[in-house]
Amino acid sequence: MGKDSKPKDKGKGKQAAGSSGGDDAGGGGKGGKGKGGKSADGLGTCTYVKARHVLCEKQGKINEAYKKLQDGWLDNGDKVPPAEFAKLNAAVPVISYESQMIAQEYSECPSGKKGGDLGWFPRGKMAGPFQDVAFSTPVGATSAPFKSTVPFGLASMGTTSSSVKEGRTDQSASASPPPPPAPAPPTERTRPAQRPGRQSSTAVAPTTKDAALQEFRRWVSSHGSDAGSGAAAPAAVPEVGLGLVAARDLPRGEVLAEVPKKLWLDADAVAASDLGGAVGRGGLRPWVAVALLLLREAARGAGSPWAPYLAILPRQTDSTIFWSEEELLEIQGTQLLSTTMGVKEYVQSEFESVEAEIISENRELFPGTVTFNDFLWAFGILRSRVFAELRGDKLALIPFADLVNHSDDITSKESSWEIKGKGLFGRDVVFSLRTPVNVKSGEQIYIQYDLDKSNAELALDYGFTESNSSRDAYTLTLEISESDPFYDDKLDIAELNGMGETAYFDIVLGESLPPQMLPYLRLLCLGGTDAFLLEALFRNAVWGHLELPVSQDNEEAICQVIRNACKSALGAYHTTIEEDEELLGSENLQPRLQIAVEVRAGEKKVLQQIDDIFKQREEELDGLEYYQERRLKDIGLVGDNGEIIFWES
C-alpha cells in the first residue's frame, strides 16, 4: 500500500525504494525511563555524551586515521599545535581539534567531512554500536576503530553529563519517549506512501517491472479474483512505485476488487503450507508465522504459488527501520529514534528465537541462509502492507488490495473495505475493496490509512509523513516516583481512576492538553500541607478535587516539572525549529531527510507548545482559585468579592 505523489505531499504509498532488509513495526524493544545511577547497559552513570566521529568504508583507511590521531600528525605535515596544550591546559579541546581535522580528511560521510561533531546525545538515543563505544570511551580519549554499518568508525569523546536524571525527576515527569508498547503483530499496512520522488517499487529495470506487473495481473485474474473485472488495474505510478489506477470513471463506493481467501497470506495459509507442521509446534505469533511463510515462498522462487505477487513486492521502504546509522543521526533526540531502535531490537529477538527453534531445525524448508535482514524485510512488508484492522489472529496480507496508496485528502473514517461471504451460502470468503471517493478514469485510487497516526508513526510504519499539524504529536510520560513518601496512596488513587504508576499522554500540535493530564500531574506533586487529600477519607472524592487547582505551591510545582522536562527534551535535538523550517523550504530534499526534518520539527513544536502552556500558567498562579478558597465558599465563609466572612456569636 502506499501513497501516491501529487505536488506537496499529495500521495503516499507502500512501494519503496529498492534494496533488501526489513524491519518490524510491531512495537517492542526497550523502554526509555531510568532513575539515574548505574544503567542497565552497564555503561556508567552519565546520561549525555558529546562526541565526534570518523566514518570510513575500508578498515585500512580507518586504521590509518586512528594512528594519526594517536601520533598527532596531519597529512599536511602539521602536528597538533603544542600551543593548544599550553593555551587550553586541557586534553579534551586538543582531542577535539585533532579529531576534527582527521574527520575532515578521512571521513566518507557528509557530517564527518564537516568535522564529525555529533553534538550532545542522551543515553538510549544513539544508533547501533555508537552508544556502546561512546558511553564506554573516557572523556578526552579516542576509541579504537570499531565496525558499524558504514562499516568502520571511531569516536572521540568531548565530555559527558550526568546532571540530568534519565527519564524522570523526583516529581516523575519525563519528556523522553515512553517505553514501546508490548510487542504487537505488524498490523499496519506498509504504505511507503511518500511525497514526490520518495518511493519506487523495486530495484529492477522498467521492462522487467512491466513484465512482472503483467504476470501479476494474469495471476490475480486466473485465481478467481474480481480484480480483473476492469474497475482498477495495478500500475507503476510516479515517485511512489506501484498503485491502483482507475480503468474507468468510478463512483464513490464502487467495488474495485474482491480478492478470494486462497490468495491471502495468513495463518490459514501457513497451516496449509509445508511450514504448517513446524510452525504449529512453535506457538508463534501470527505475524512471525506469516513472515516465515513469506521467506519460505520467496526461497521457492518460481515454484511458489505466490511467485507473481512476491516479484512485485518492494525490497525496502523508507520506514526508519531501514535507515542507515548516518540517516538515523538526523532524528537524534526524537521519540521516533528510540521507538525505531526498540522495534529493531524486538525483531532481532524474535529472529534469534525462530532461527534457533524453526529455521535451523527445518533446513529442508529453508535451504539457504536466512539472515536478520531477510526477516526484517518480511516484518517491514507486513508492517506496511497489512490493513490496520487486520491484526492479531486476523493478520492477513491481501495481494492486489495492498497496492492501494494513501492520500491525506481522504479524511473519512468510513472503512474502504470489508470481508464478506460470496457464492453458494456465502461460503467463499473474499476481501472487498471499495473506492471512498469518486475517481476519474486514469487517476490513481487512494484510501486513508489511519487518521489517528502521528507523523512519527507514519514514518515508522510506512516511510512517509504529512505536512499537516494534526500529525505532529509528542508523548509525555508521567510517573509516580517509587521514592515518593506517599507512593502507595498515590498509586491507589491513580488505579481507582483508571490510571497507573506510569501514564502516557499524547499531545497534538494545536490541541488542548488531554483532560486527565492535569489531575495526574497534581497527584504526582501532591505533598506538604496538601497531603491531607491523600487520606482514606477523601479517597473517593480526591480525583474531583485534583481536576481543579489544589494550592499555589502544588500548581507551581507542576509547572516547574513540565517546563524542566520540556527544556531537557528540547536540548537533545541538534537543530532548532527555525533551522528545520529553512531546510523544509529548500528544494530537492532527499526523502528520508525530509521525513527526519518534519518529524523532529513537529516534536519540537509540540514541546514548545507544552512549555508555553505552563509558562502562561505560572504567570496566572496568583489569580487562580484553589481548594481552600473553594471549600470556604462551599460552607458560606467567603463573600461574592472573595472576602472572608466572620460570624459573630
Residues 429 and 485 in one domain: no
Residues 360 and 245 in one domain: yes
For residue 205, what pLDDT is reported?
43
Q: By C-alpha distance, which of 156, 141, 132 is closest to 52?
A: 156
For residue 45, what pLDDT is reported?
46
Do 473 and 610 touch, CB atoms closer than 8 A?
Answer: no
pLDDT at 454 over 60: yes
For residue 109, what pLDDT is reported?
61
If you average pLDDT over residues 409-428, what whole number do you get?
Answer: 82
Residues 156 and 240 in one domain: no
Q: In Å, how far from its chain's centre is CA 364?
A: 36
pLDDT, mean over the chain: 79
Long-range pairs of 360-366 with CB within 8 A, sequence gap ≥ 24: 361/278, 362/275, 362/278, 365/274, 365/275, 365/278, 365/296, 366/295, 366/296, 366/299
Q: Which of 71-85, 402-416, 493-507 has the lowest mean pLDDT?
A: 71-85
Q: State which residues form the domain around 438.
A: 206-447
Instruction: Pick the more confident residue, 85 or 358.
Output: 358
For residue 636, what pLDDT is reported?
67
For residue 248, what pLDDT is reported?
94
Assess if residue 30 is contained within a domain.
no
For residue 275, what pLDDT is reported?
92
Of 432, 447, 462, the one marking the end of a domain is: 447
For residue 587, what pLDDT is reported?
85
For residue 63, what pLDDT is reported?
75
Residues 347 and 246 in one domain: yes
Q: What are phi and psi of 576, to 5 degrees?
A: -95, 165
For residue 62, what pLDDT is reported?
72
Which CATH number fits the domain that encloses residue 592?
A: 3.90.1420.10
pLDDT at 554 over 70: yes
Cell reading at 545: 478535587
Q: What is the pTM of this model?
A: 0.72
The catalytic residue among 106, 449, 462, 573 is 449
Assess if residue 421 is contained within a domain.
yes
Assess if residue 42 is contained within a domain.
no
Residues 148 and 291 in one domain: no
Residues 307 and 340 in one domain: yes
Segment 21-65, tens digit of pLDDT: 333 334 443 333 333 333 334 344 455 566 667 776 666 777 777
Cell reading at 333: 533526540
Do 35 and 226 touch, CB atoms closer than 8 A?
Answer: no
For residue 451, what pLDDT is reported?
92
pLDDT at 406 over 80: yes
For residue 621, what pLDDT is reported?
97
Residues 230 and 146 in one domain: no
Q: Which of 131-135, 238-242, 618-622 has the lowest mean pLDDT?
A: 131-135
Segment 559-580, tens digit of pLDDT: 999 999 999 999 999 999 999 9
Q: Which of 69-78, 123-132, 341-350 has the lowest mean pLDDT?
A: 69-78
pLDDT at 267 over 70: yes
Quote the crossing angle between the two packed helices 372-385 and 335-354, to the nearest 10°: 120
Which CATH number fits the domain that encloses residue 265?
A: 3.90.1410.10
DSSP string, 78-144: PBPPHHHHHHH-SHHHHHHHHHHHHHHHH--SHHHHTT-EEEEEETT-S-TTHHHHHHHSPTT-BPP
Assess if residue 422 is contained within a domain.
yes
Cell reading at 640: 461574592
Known catalytic membership, residue 66: no
Residues 229 and 154 in one domain: no
pLDDT at 253 over 50: yes
For residue 86, what pLDDT is reported?
34
Segment 584-601, tens digit of pLDDT: 999 889 999 999 999 999
Segment 79-123, tens digit of pLDDT: 444 333 333 333 333 344 455 556 667 666 655 555 666 655 555
Which CATH number fits the domain that encloses residue 143?
A: 3.10.50.40
pLDDT at 238 over 60: yes
**In total, how many domains does the chain have?**
3
**Is the bond preceding residue 485 a cis peptide, omega within 30 degrees?**
no
**Residues paired with 242 in a beta bridge:** 236
Instruction: Pick the more confident residue, 371 or 5.
Output: 371
Percentage of the chain beyond pLDDT 70 is 67
Q: By C-alpha distance, which of 441, 471, 224 is closest to 336?
A: 471
Residues 6+ apart with CB under 8 A from 279: 270, 271, 289, 292, 358
* Whole-number CA gyration radius for the chain: 28
Residues 409 and 509 in one domain: no
Pairing of strands 405-406, 446-447: parallel
Residues 440 and 562 in one domain: no
If you average pLDDT over residues 232-246, what whole number do you get?
Answer: 89
Assess if residue 467 is contained within a domain.
no
Q: Which of 127-131, 170-174, 288-292, 507-511 has the lowest mean pLDDT?
A: 170-174
Residues 430 and 488 in one domain: no
For residue 415, what pLDDT is reported?
85
For residue 240, what pLDDT is reported?
78
Assess if residue 295 is contained within a domain.
yes
Residues 280 and 333 in one domain: yes
Assess if residue 9 is contained within a domain.
no
Assess if residue 314 is contained within a domain.
yes
pLDDT at 150 over 50: no
For residue 283, what pLDDT is reported?
80
